[in-house]
Amino acid sequence: MKLSNITARAIVPALVLLALHTLPATAATIDVTRTTVLNDRIGNSRFFFGANTDLIRLSSFVTPSPDSDNTGIGAATSVSFTHDTFGGQYFNLGFIGISSGRGGALNEYTYAQPFASTNPNIPPNPFVVANLASFDTTPFSVRVINGADTLNYTAPDYDSTAMPGFVTGMNLTAGLTPTISWDLPTAGTTPTAMAIQIRRLTESNGRITAATLVHNISVAANTTSYTVPANLLAQGVKYEIAVMADVRTVAGAVKGRSRSFFEFTPVDAIGNGQVAVFLPSVGPDGVYKYKDVLVVAGETIALDPVVAVGYDYQISDGDPLFASVMLPDIGNGLFDLYLFDGNDWVKNAVLAAGQQHFFSGNGVDRFRILGIEPDAGIDPTDATAFITYLTFASDGRFSGTMTPITAEVPEPASIALLAGSLLLLGLRTSSNQRARRRLA
């Protein structure tokens, strides 16, 4: 089947096009350490392009690359692939290695296309959908070029059935060596291994501009917690954790992977030091989503997700009702509680930080907290900036949401200069999320 030029352009996303450089006079010997062809399932995510999509991804780990050589030889490497259905046309893999700041691993080149999606901004690629069976039957061919040196090889087989589900109940303890815990997937293909990745996030003017992989480890399939090693994290720095469920071959090649992303900044202490914070994942809509957190009636859990002036909390259908709430000591320590009367939000009480408030009756399915001063500087993109302690009216699973309500204020030279003079221009719900850069 001949792939038309229009279709060919359509299946090459701009984010993964490799910028070709002028080739140097000499070339280094090409070495391919491994290549993977896998189902890449991406959950809600603030940084990564492709939230709520299932992708077919081809990644090749090649030297020389910009990671291994910065003299120009590595930058001149081009990696491309083709398939029988492409009519002989090759498509570039983009470099996403460590030095790129795009979240990839050492010497990694990649290409990915969606074949299933619940994200309206990233619809499935019809060409990929139509040819998944062919990709499963016939492997891709890969070509690496650096100067006069060319290497051609056949990629590993693609397995369309390797589709693990996502982990749930992600939570994190305090300190610079936190323990992260999660519940194993309950749907999809049973994982044969788990993997943990930690990336250091770089921001400029409130936008994430880079994610650099700083830790990558594989653990056993039944693992449900992991303690971050010492001397890896720094106080006040924002990080992203990816907890991944893998389906691998006997030889260890990844055939299917689900990636659940959570952003956080290390915190000094949480409550009495024993309560872990449940971290949300965040999609393109900017809503903090909690997935299938086990709750027990009367037991406290801690939630946290901009400058934020408030938050809306709501359960999902079938979740236990909220029984009580306790808020952190932020700003002046006083907050306005609003309840929903079926038509509108009605102010119900003023809550003081650190005091547990019990809802009347059998509990509530939603509530709103307002009154956080903008000059308190609550970062709505920081998953440990406003820790909220909740109890529930009955046992069950919590899969609700925490939606930041943010204040639109002038760009500050510093918070000190604007303290006492911030002008509240209006309320909006996480519109800053639309400005955040998302990469593949």
Q: pLDDT tens across 17-39, in order?
A: 223 333 344 556 899 999 999 99
The overall average pLDDT reported for the chain is 80
Question: Token digits for 208?
Answer: 């994430």
pLDDT score for 420: 28
For residue 356, is pLDDT > 80?
yes
The amino acid present at 30, given as its one-letter code, is: I
The verdict on 12 and 128 lying in the same domain is: yes
**Is 161 a member of any domain?**
no
The verdict on 259 and 304 lying in the same domain is: no
Residue count of the chain, please give it: 440
Q: pLDDT tens across 148-191, in order?
A: 999 999 999 999 999 999 998 888 887 889 899 998 998 999 99
d(CA 101, CA 13) in angstroms, rounded, equals 18
Cα-Cα end-to-end distance for the chain:
28
Question: Token digits for 211?
Answer: 């994610």
Q: pLDDT tens across 382-397, in order?
A: 656 678 889 999 998 8
Instruction: Kindly tell me the burial class for residue 59, based on how many C-beta atoms sit within 10 Å of its own C-beta (0-12, 13-18, 19 or more).
Output: buried
* CATH code of the domain containing 189: 2.60.40.10
d(CA 216, CA 222) in angstroms, rounded, equals 18
Q: Please answer whether residues 432 and 206 qualify as being in contact, where contact means their C-beta atoms are separated by less than 8 angstroms.
A: yes
Q: pLDDT tens across 188-214, in order?
A: 999 999 999 999 999 877 677 899 999
d(CA 318, CA 408) in angstroms, rounded, equals 35
The verdict on 335 and 204 lying in the same domain is: no
The verdict on 242 and 379 lying in the same domain is: no
Pairing of strands 91-95, 31-42: unpaired
Which helix (H) or strand (E) segment is 415 a member of? helix 415-418
End residue of a domain, out of 201, 233, 264 = 264
pLDDT score for 387: 81
The conformation of residue 94, written as its DSSP 8-state character, comes to E
Q: How many domains does the chain fold into?
A: 3
DSSP, collapsed to helix, strand or coil, labels residue 281 as: strand
For residue 350, is pLDDT > 80?
yes
The verdict on 207 and 342 lying in the same domain is: no
Q: Is 0.75 surpassed by the pTM of this model?
A: no
| Cα 368 from chain centre | 26
The verdict on 94 and 116 lying in the same domain is: yes
Task: Of 347, 302, 357, 283, give the one whose Cα is nearest residue 326.
Answer: 357
Q: Please answer whether residues 48 and 199 qualify as being in contact, where contact means their C-beta atoms are separated by less than 8 angstroms.
A: no
The verdict on 259 and 309 lying in the same domain is: no
Percent of the residues in the chain that have a pLDDT greater than 90, as a whole number = 50
The verdict on 289 and 256 lying in the same domain is: no
Q: Please answer whether residues 53 and 117 qualify as being in contact, where contact means their C-beta atoms are separated by less than 8 angstroms.
A: yes
End residue of a domain, out of 96, 122, 154 = 154
Which stretches of 330-387 are assigned E, i.e. beta strand? 334-340, 345-352, 357-358, 366-370
Percent of the chain that is helix, strand, coil (3-state, to 5): 10, 40, 50
**Is 271 a member of any domain?**
no
DSSP, collapsed to helix, strand or coil, labels residue 209 as: strand
Instruction: Kindly tell me the burial class for residue 82, based on how many C-beta atoms sit within 10 Å of its own C-beta (0-12, 13-18, 19 or more).
Output: middle
Domain range for residue 84? 5-154
The verdict on 290 and 419 lying in the same domain is: yes
DSSP string for 126-175: HHHHHHHHHHHHS--EEEEEETTEEEEEEPPPP-TT--B---EEEEE-SS
